[in-house]
Chain A
Amino acid sequence: MCGIAGLIYRDGARKIGGEMTAMLQALRHRGPDSTGFAMYGAPGPNEYVMRYKVAEKEDLDGGTRIHRAIRERKAAVDAVLEELGVSVLELDEPTEYALRSRIAFDGDLKRLADQVEEVEGGEILSIGNALELIKDLGDATAVSEVYGLGTFEGTHGIGHTRMATESDVDIRSAHPYWAYPYNDIAVVHNGQITNYWLMRRQLEREGQRFVSHCDSELLAVYTAVNLEKGMSLEESLRRSIDEIDGVFTYLITTGNELGMAKDTMAAKPMVLYEADDMVALASEEVAIRAILPHEIDTSDPYDEEVRVWQA
């Protein structure tokens, strides 16, 4: 059934990493297979943060040769970055297979993403001025500890606890999804899109590329294309209710916005808390109460409801 959560502060950055971890841990029972975060830190001028992996977590159980393969893949990625003129300002390796690079780059993001993904096992989780997308197997606390997310500061973020239903239990199938290769757009989704293949083929004919077989990725790419055409996030969300079939509630983030849309049947839950300085949303109120333990006034958005908040 999966759980989703979102958080946005309207008055500057906070330690949203710890808060998102607490919210998602409270939703663990909705999906213990994997957990993912898409959080927005302080954007640097002409800088991007690239989160990528060169193997799946379970590959490490496959023998000793994988460790040499991972070293070779990292070297191959380094070679790609050097060839494209990317300056690596900072490199973190929270796990053997998943990396974070702060880079300076003024070239074509799509070309960069394509060439990194040509490396065997290579997959870009996100590239963004402010976006950092982290996902791995396990619950929120486990993922947060491994990736050191407790101290992450930012203005807004979304997250997902996944119960695998139609695709594998691996990082590639975990949420959130980045809108490949668009800057700073990510999505989490609870539900099922029934015209996924129809919509996906239409976007592929227009030149878009999908990295997974998960219907949630469609929402990210669909939104990014609409924004590129000049629509506002709110217009894109409204259009999605007419054009996308199925039952869904989804949260989508850009560099400075958090948006929500609920389908025409209102079959997937969402609880909303709004205050002057912040907005928190989650599949269940218990997730919001994980960061706001006192009594709060919450409500359920209705069918076809669309909301957008600014950071």
Chain B
Amino acid sequence: MAGMSESTSTQMGMHTEPLTGRDIKTKFTLENEGGFAYHFARDVDFNRRAEIDCAELEPTEINRQIRELMDSGHGSIVIRNPGAKHSLVVGILNRMNIIVEGSLGYFGCGLLDGPTVRIAGRVGWSFGENMMAGVCVVEENAGSTFGAALRGGDLVCKGSVGSRTGIDQKGGTIIVGGDTGAFSGFMMQRGRIVVCGNAGKNLGDSMYDGTIYVGGDIRDLGVDAVQAELTDVDRAWLTRKLNMYELLPAQGVDHFTKIVAGKQLWSYDNLEPTEKKLVL
């Protein structure tokens, strides 16, 4: 939110208080956002490229090889023949590029903080869980609980996703080019979900906060999810964001429906920011 006026962010339903955590406070300020890195982050060169053929490797070995390549300064890694194996490309806290030339199984790309990942195939359940920063783009479909507990970054699926997309989402942006299943945005606390296609039943059920945009039909809304007016700021943001990932519909974004929390069920708006952080 650095550089954004309070009135603009408020119009978009976003929080304005600085979210400086106790552990990173001494190293991270909003003014120095771009320079932040973990003290143990590898100094990688994006022009150094390496490949891993996963056909005969177990997930543990594949993830170990990714770390070894990072240690040796490789900033671009290509994953060949991933074979829908589980738990690949997890826990990477570096800025780097990863290209997956195939499909991932369950729990792919969990706990990321920084990398840019492109998956040419599809991904299974719980993709991108707990991602803190970075970009993940999936070219085909994704399974259920896509982006569960997402905290930051952009998580994009150009196809359709399963159920409970963005469950417990705490920040960041989830973009779905196709449809999403039931209970999407369930107990969502912050961040944004954009669905270009249709949404299943109980959309936004028990959401605390955050915003959901749907371009197609919504089967029904969950408890305490309500429709809100799509503002010019929303349109500008949707247009820019969807354009970034080549998902902007030909007719634009005027037809999108905006869903927010009614805050009749859960509301922490009266808490001090520090108290709110403890709750959320």
Contact = CB atoms under 8 A, between A and B. Distances in A.
Interface stretch (B28-36, B140-148, B168-176, B254-262): B140-148
Contact of B181 (A293, A297, A302): A302
A287 to B, nearest CB: 9
Interface string B204-230: 000000000000000000000000000
A88 interface: no
Contacts of A303: 163, 181-182, 200-201
Contact of B200 (A286, A298, A302): A302
B124 A266 contact: no
A284 B104 CA distance: 11
A123 interface: no
Interface footprint category on B = 20 to 34
A271 B103 contact: no
Contacts of B160: 299
A57 B93 CA distance: 50
Contacts of A271: 124, 143
Interface in A252-308: 265-266, 269, 271, 284-286, 288-289, 293, 295-300, 302-303
Interface string B103-144: 101100000000000001110110000000000000011011
Given A269-B125, A286-B85, A302 B105 contact: no
A3 B143 CA distance: 16
Contacts of B84: 284-286, 288-289
A303 B86 CA distance: 23
Contacts of B125: 269
Interface residues of A, number: 18
A286 B105 contact: yes
A271 B85 CA distance: 14
Interface string B166-195: 000000000000000111000000000000
Contact of B141 (A293, A295, A299): A299
Given A269-B125, A271-B124, A284-B124, A300 B85 contact: no
Contacts of A289: 83-84, 103
B273 interface: no
A300 B144 contact: yes
Nearest to A293: B83
A266 B162 CA distance: 9
Interface string B148-161: 00000000000111
B102 interface: yes
Contacts of A300: 141, 143-144, 161-163, 181
Contacts of B83: 286, 289, 293
Contacts of A302: 162-163, 181-182, 200
B42 to A, nearest CB: 30
Given A295-B121, A303-B182, A303-B201, A266 B105 contact: no
Considering residues A269, A293, A298, A302, which has the most beta carbons from chain B within 10 angstroms of its beta carbon?
Answer: A302
A284 B87 CA distance: 13
B103 A295 contact: yes
A300 B120 CA distance: 17
B144 A266 contact: yes
Nearest to B160: A299
B153 to A, nearest CB: 23
Given A266-B163, A266-B182, A300-B144, 12 more contacts: A265-B182, A266-B183, A269-B125, A285-B103, A285-B124, A289-B84, A295-B103, A297-B140, A299-B160, A300-B141, A303-B181, A303-B201
30 contacts: A265-B183, A266-B162, A266-B182, A269-B144, A271-B124, A284-B124, A285-B103, A285-B124, A286-B83, A286-B85, A286-B86, A286-B105, A288-B84, A289-B84, A295-B103, A296-B103, A297-B140, A298-B122, A298-B141, A299-B159, A300-B141, A300-B144, A300-B161, A300-B162, A300-B163, A302-B162, A302-B163, A302-B181, A302-B182, A303-B181
Interface of A: 265-266, 269, 271, 284-286, 288-289, 293, 295-300, 302-303
10 smallest CB-CB distances across A and B, nearest first, come from A300-B162, A285-B84, A266-B163, A303-B182, A302-B181, A286-B84, A289-B84, A299-B141, A300-B143, A286-B105
